Structure 1
Amino acid sequence: MPGVATAEHPADLLARPYWYRHLPSGQDVHRLDNGLYAVTGNAAVQEALAHPEIVAEHPLKASARAFGPNVLDADGPNHRAFRALLAPALSAGRVAEYKRTLMPGLVDALVESLAGIETDDFYDSFAHKIPYGIVCTILGIDPSLEDRFHKLTRPLARLLDYPTEETEQTHANVTELLRLIEEQRAATTVGEQSLLETIERTRDRKGISLTDSEVRSTALLFFLAGTETSSAFITSLVYCMGRGIFGLGELADEDVRDAFVEEVLRLYPPVQTIVRFAVEDVEIQGVRVPRHSAVAASIAGANRDPRVFEHPDRFQPGRSLKGSIPFAVGSHACPGALLAKTEFSLLVEKLVERCSDIVITRDRLGVESQSFAHPTGFSVEFKNKQEKRM
């Protein structure tokens, strides 16, 4: 039985960047206070996330209270049913269609707004533009309402944290977002169809017992998680491009670009910690975890495990990424991974085409470790390729 690893309150520990580094080395499963177990090693994290008796569902989770039945908080047949609803919007064919028709305009608009400027506010002012543009289209929201959608949605990210930050305002925001979606749907021109309606048709065809409001709630929560994950990771991506690890021009090569994105994903997974619950007594890497325990699995720790990745803190594109799990593993592994990677690769490609260089001009080396992890406290300059020629 592992001993208590720290006198620190678990909530305070998990709020610290790279919290797994503050636990004793040489063990992967740590018993903390308040019935919480922290899992940090790569093999242990993968085992915990794939274990059938370690589940996402818990009646007291704030996200379940705010959104009702949903894909993030369900397990077993209900979870499979929710994923089946989302599958049409996330298929390889649909993602290819997005890449042809939806993403280019959003990416070009963002890159055009960045070229030639320096900003210390990349995350708040720019990083959300592409993911929120995609999601507003999927949910049938008028693009002119994107900023309002973003302002209502971003505070809800704290519903997914451990510890949860739940307020009357977060519940009010959920209500307003669902009202907005319904209002936009009612205003849709006859013959137009959003992908939300595609999801509802899938429900009807498969005979899944969910009401329209439950479908909209789970779609909203899923895409909330997706947009905030993407916003955080786009911030990490730009930060790594600006650190000058190697020449920007090298990223014009698709293979190099893909390796770059994968290595940023390993080092800066936007979801650093996933909390699950043991419904029965289980063992993780030979350590007993009693039923009803909360299990905090560190994706960040798994992706920097020195037993799996040589020099794990070193940025090294092209390394073997076997064991890298930025999108988690098991039944709850992110179904939007292909959409996200396509979005990221296209953004890097367009930034390389438009900018002569991207430079971090100020760096306080800060990291937001909750509400979707990303570097903070930096300024970045996007040097305009056209200005250089002049």
Structure 2
Amino acid sequence: MNKTTEGFGDWSCYSATPAESLALFEAARGCPVVHSEAHDGFTLLLDYKAVRKAMADHRRFSSEPQVLRPMLPRKPIPALEMDPPRHSAWRAIFSKALPPGTDARMEPFVRADIRRHLGRIGPTGACDIVKQICEPVPAETICHLVGVDEAKVPAIRHAAIKMFAAQGDPELFGQQQAAFGALTIGEVHDRRAHPREDFLTSLVGLEVEGRALDDDDFVVLFAAFLGAGHHSTSSAMASLIWAVFSDATLRNRLRGDRSLIGQAVEETLRLYPPFYGFFRRTTCPIEVNGAEIPEGRDIYMGWAAANRDPEQFERPHVFDIGRASTRHMAFGFGIHSCPGAALARMELTVLLDELLDALPDLSLDGPAPAFAFGGGDYCYLPSLNVRFTPKLIVEAV
């Protein structure tokens, strides 16, 4: 059997766990390309150089019509699923919400939110920290950023989680997107009647591509903000806690030297990217690693595999906060790289800093959890039980 197809068959995130997927990726190291018959067939790129080169080439590797499979009954995600020239106009909307310095401006809000949650769980001595901190904090951050009232955050967050989880079922996704839209469209409509000094008000009457944004546009914009800003950051937070607090030596080293926190964040993102990859579609015949790929072929950009490429990273499976190269693919690459990367890095840094201060003996409670796929190639920890010495944590005034 051709080594480029052996073992993959109909691989997708719906037919294999993250652990099984990583094992398949490693077994295919050295193959020019790998093929799967899932989703009407696609080609996988797994080595770092090929993935990075393809991600930088939007002319031959198109982000249209969608970057996830199966195809869903929805409008394209603004900017993410658009090529130039459309891409620039829609990307500008995110740039307006995330101007330079946003991470520094938002840090006090993030720190206050984390301390509030820590104040609630501190006296208990144990909790599922995914539920108590990793899920709510990124959603609160995004809602602070765009102007959603805090009281509405839980309902919007839960509706978004249900919508993202339905990625594999087009009919169910349509239903969940409608429920999500019923909540989020109301926020923009409210700004028409009651303008505020916030980002949502700036969307009212905004014209892109010669027309005003409509309700469908608002839904996909909200989904993009929450998908990138909440969903992926929540995953990264849980992975960071798991990686650091499952190793007492590493935890104590970071407590003593906070300058290493940034490296711990980057290693977490490299080894445990929230998304294992996105799809592209070839716009012309292409040769990759000596393999001919026809026009119109779906190509999977294997970020998780690229992040563990031994040609790029020495001892790639080791969590090493002294690693020299941090050029991972967790935020993508090229014109579609994540516009909120600096914000996410800040949230992760603040979270770890606060945990090391408030709960210095925090450790895992029970066996190591299993990563799961949920809603496309989104990889996450469904739960993470931790324990610590009960402590009264007083919020800073």
Q: 2:332 maps to what in 1?
A: 328
How many Å separate the matches in 2 of 1:304 and 1:84?
A: 32
How many Å separate the matches in 2 of 1:213 and 1:331?
A: 26
1:257 lines up with 2:261 in the alignment: yes
| C-alpha displacement of 1:223 | 0.9
1:92 lines up with 2:87 in the alignment: no
Task: Evaluate the alpha carbon distance shift between residue 49 and residue 252 of structure 1 in structure 2; reply closer, same or farther with a 3 A threshold.
Answer: same
What amino acid maps onto 1:381 in structure 2? Answer: R
What amino acid maps onto 1:185 in structure 2? Answer: R
| C-alpha displacement of 1:186 | 5.0
1:54 lines up with 2:61 in the alignment: yes
What amino acid maps onto 2:97 in structure 1? Answer: A
The match for 1:127 among 130, 134, 150 is 134
1:70 lines up with 2:70 in the alignment: no
Task: Give 1:108-257 correspondences, 5 Å limit.
Answer: 108-117=115-124, 119=126, 121-158=128-165, 163=168, 166-167=171-172, 168-185=174-191, 188=194, 192-199=196-203, 203=206, 209-213=211-215, 215-226=217-228, 227-244=230-247, 245-248=249-252, 250-251=254-255, 253-257=257-261
Q: Deviations over 1:129-170 (max 9, x none)?
A: 1111122223332211211111111022236x5x56541422
What amino acid maps onto 1:86 in structure 2? Answer: F
Structure 1, unaligned runs of 5 or more: none
8 A Cα contact 1:50 1:329, kept in partner? yes
Q: Deviations over 1:236-274 (max 9, x none)?
A: 111122212513462464421111111111111111121
Task: Give 1:246-325 correspondences, 5 Å limit.
Answer: 246-248=250-252, 250-251=254-255, 253-325=257-329
Deviates more, 1:89-98 or 1:229-238: 89-98
How many Å separate the matches in 2 of 1:126 and 1:165?
A: 30
8 A Cα contact 1:2 1:29, kept in partner? no
Task: Evaluate the alpha carbon distance shift between residue 5 and residue 80 of structure 1 in structure 2; reply closer, same or farther with a 3 A threshold.
Answer: farther
1:82 lines up with 2:90 in the alignment: yes
SS state at 2:321 partner = coil
Number of aligned pairs?
380
8 A Cα contact 2:123 2:392, kept in partner? no
How many Å separate the matches in 2 of 1:252 and 1:199?
A: 45
Task: Evaluate the alpha carbon distance shift between residue 118 and residue 66 of structure 1 in structure 2; reply closer, same or farther with a 3 A threshold.
Answer: farther
What is the percent sequence identity of the aligned residues? 22
8 A Cα contact 2:64 2:81, kept in partner? yes
| C-alpha displacement of 1:111 | 2.3
How many Å separate the matches in 2 of 1:15 and 1:380?
A: 27
8 A Cα contact 2:51 2:302, kept in partner? yes
Runs of 4+ in 1 over 6 A off after TM superposition: 59-64
Task: Evaluate the alpha carbon distance shift between residue 223 and residue 247 of structure 1 in structure 2; reply closer, same or farther with a 3 A threshold.
Answer: same
Q: 2:23 maps to what in 1?
A: 21
Task: Evaluate the alpha carbon distance shift between residue 363 and residue 92 of structure 1 in structure 2; reply closer, same or farther with a 3 A threshold.
Answer: farther
1:358 lines up with 2:365 in the alignment: no
SS state at 1:46 partner = helix
8 A Cα contact 2:32 2:291, kept in partner? no
Deviates more, 1:23-32 or 1:117-126: 117-126
Q: TM-score, normalised by structure 2?
A: 0.85
